Structure formats: structure tokens, C-alpha cells
Amino acid sequence: MKTISMILGIILTVFGVSMIFTPIATFLNTGYFFAIMLLACGIMGIITNVSSHDFGINFIFAIISTVLGIIMAVAPSMQLFADGMLLYIMACWFILQGIVSIVIAVKAKKSEKKQWGWIMAIGIIGLIVGIYTLFHPLVLAMTLGILIGVYFIESGINMIIIACENKE
């Protein structure tokens, strides 16, 4: 197990470094992650619901998730669609988060809380980032690609550390 963990950690770290240098390619492959996630959740949901003899809404949702996962795994256009939609969903989320933070800051100012200025600043930054990424989604795609790479490096290093600490 120690050797496998070490090898996987090295692979993740190398892929992470590669992802940082190719952020757009990394982002464009997030559709595969969605497909795998949908398949895994769908199959587990089907197994769980069949074993508990529950054929209600959760069972139907699990079947739909599995079917969507299969479609995304075999239809590259669906992966590209999911990648594109993710950009606009995140841009809208930034905008909404910014608006909510601004509203909270205004309420905090009325109740004379000291931190209202920081909340307002974060809200304004969120609003600006959201509007900017709504009109320039490529910037968000590159940022997400780099962040995914950093996550892979961090996960790989953690696996290597854990493997080195195991006394197997």
C-alpha cells in the first residue's frame, strides 16, 4: 500500500504541474470529472435504493444521474457544454455573492458593526469579478485550470507524505 500511495502521489503531483502549464486544456477536461461524478453517484444511488427497496424520487434521480453520466462520457459535445455552462454559473454565483455581501454590509453599517467596510469591499470585489468573468469567461477558465493543478499537486504531496509516514 505504501508503494502504491507513493506512486499515485508522484503521478498526481506530475499531472498537477502539467495542469498549471496547460490551464485551458485542464479546464476543458472538467467535463470528464462531471461524467465520472454523475456515474459514481448514480450507480451508488441505484445500489443503495435497490438494497433498501426504496424506489421513490431518489431512485429516479440516481437513474437520471447514471444516464447523464453515460451520455457525458460518450458524447464530447456534452462535456464541452458542461464546461461552458460551469463558467457562466460561476460568474453568476460571483455576482450574487457580491450582491449579498453588499446587502449584508449595508445592514451591518446600520447596526454600527465595525467590520461592515470589509464586507462591503469583498462584496464589491465579488461583483466586479462576476461581471468581468461573465464577459471574459476565458479568464475564469484559465484560473480554474490553474486551481485544479494546484489541488492535484497538494493531493499528490499529501499522498507522498502519508506514504513516507506509514511503517508498512
- For 80-89, the pLDDT digits (tens) are 787 788 888 8
What 68-72 contacts at long range (C-beta under 8 Å, 24+ apart), as own/partner pairs, is: 68/38, 68/42, 69/35, 69/36, 69/37, 69/38, 69/39, 69/40, 69/41, 69/42, 70/35, 70/39, 72/31, 72/34, 72/35, 72/38
CB neighbours (10 Å) of residue 148?
20
Q: How many CA atoms lie within 13 A of 100 on its CB side?
A: 7
For the chain, which residues make up each domain, given as ranges?
2-165
Tens digit of each residue's pLDDT (9 = 90 or more) over 107-147: 989 988 888 899 899 999 989 989 998 999 888 888 888 88
The angle, 0 to 180 degrees and rounded to 10, between the axes of the packed helices 76-110 and 116-135 is: 150
